[in-house]
Amino acid sequence: MNPGLLLAFDDEQPAAAALAAALGVPWAQVQRHRFPDGESKLRLPPALPAEVLLLRGLHQPHDKLVELLITVPAARALGAQRIVLVAPYLAYMRQDMAFSPGEAVSQRHIAALLAAQVDGLITVDPHLHRIASLDEVMPGCPNRALTAAPLLGAWVAQQVPGALLLGPDEEALQWVAAAGQAHGLDHAVCHKQRFGDRDVRVALPALPLVGRAVVLLDDVASTGRTLVEAATAALAAGAASVDVAVTHALFVGDALAQLRAAGVRHVWSTDAVPHATAVVPIAALLAAAVQAF
């Protein structure tokens, strides 16, 4: 794809500028006005090229999803013929089955909603656990699920040579394997059971951890409880240090403070979600995917 313009929202200027620079294309803002009743007024550039790249990270997704439902048809009305969405964080991917009767499988419905809007989607480390690819929930919508795991692995290999990459649950095998294999680091995963939003139990793999520099690596940290439990267990098992590296730093509420209290030394993330812990930029990864799309 050779977009004529990158369109981005006013609260994601650093990410938009970085991606536009990596692509060598201009970028413009979707300006937002919040009415007193909570509705939004959106203003786009009045004339758009045929190929438009739209950047929108979907952490804290609700307002953003509604704004996308307005922005995409508005962009078409202003001249865009092909709109590809870059959503570095794709929301609702973890609700991928009905865990109890009657529960909505949000992954399927949010993915279908986006697929109906745009002509393509590029995202990073979506939580694909019970499905093999986004094609299963976005039929007919070309998509690319990138992984930042090798980039995180490179950062970890530089910061903590000889680290053991530990996924806090079985689902993390895909990310620790990709990061470990790319940079010659050992990897393993824990076993996790979740009982509630902030109630998880993590069992370590049968591996000697005494004296090891452990880096917990996962796709997303939300409440941080998964990482807290894994870090606590690893330190109790004799790990020399525990650091954390995640693609998507949601870190809601006191998550970071809880990690520190558990003895975690460093917390690193990519800038897929804007956050103070971001040390690994993904603009080049995204740009390469756009160019190949």
What is the contact surface with ligand R5P in residues (CB under 6 A)? 94, 127, 168-169, 171, 200, 218-226
Could you give phi then psi for residue 139, rounded to 5 degrees?
-60, 135
* 85 vs 93, beta carbon nearer ligand R5P: 93
Whose tokens are 């970028």? That residue is 27
CB 216 to ligand R5P: min, Å: 10
Contact (Cβ atoms closer than 8 angstroms) between residue 79 and residue 48:
yes
- In angstroms, give the least distance from the CB of 97 to ligand R5P: 13
Give me the least distance between CB of 280 and ligand R5P, in Å please.
Answer: 17
Least distance in angstroms from the C-beta of 30 to ligand R5P: 29
Give the number of residues written for the chain: 293
**Closest to ligand R5P by CB, 224 or 281:** 224
Residue number, 228 or 287, with CB nearest to ligand R5P: 228
Determine the 3-state secondary structure of 85 from DSSP: strand
End-to-end, the C-alpha distance of the chain in Å comes to: 5
Query: Packing angle between helix 283-292 and helix 13-23, nearest 10 degrees?
Result: 50
Strands 241-249 vs 267-270: parallel, antiparallel or unpaired: parallel
Query: Catalytic one among 64, 192, 225, 248?
Result: 192
Which phi and psi (to 5°) does residue 128 adopt? -95, 100
As measured in angstroms, the least distance from the Cβ of 194 to ligand R5P is: 8
Q: Kindly state the smallest distance separating residue 248's Cβ from ligand R5P, in Å.
A: 9
**Residue whose CB is less far from ligand R5P, 118 or 228:** 228
Which is nearer to ligand R5P, 143 or 223 (by Cβ)?
223
Which residues lie across from 9 on neighbouring strands? 30
Q: Nearer to ligand R5P by C-beta: 59 or 127?
A: 127
Which long-range contacts does 57-65 make (Cβ < 8 Å, 24+ apart)?
57/12, 57/15, 57/87, 57/88, 57/89, 57/272, 57/273, 57/274, 58/87, 58/89, 58/90, 58/91, 59/89, 59/91, 59/248, 59/250, 59/273, 61/91, 61/92, 61/110, 64/9, 65/91, 65/110, 65/113
Please indicate whether residue 41 is annotated as part of the active site: no
| Dist CA 45 CA 53 (whole Å) | 13
Please identify every residue annotated as catalytic.
192
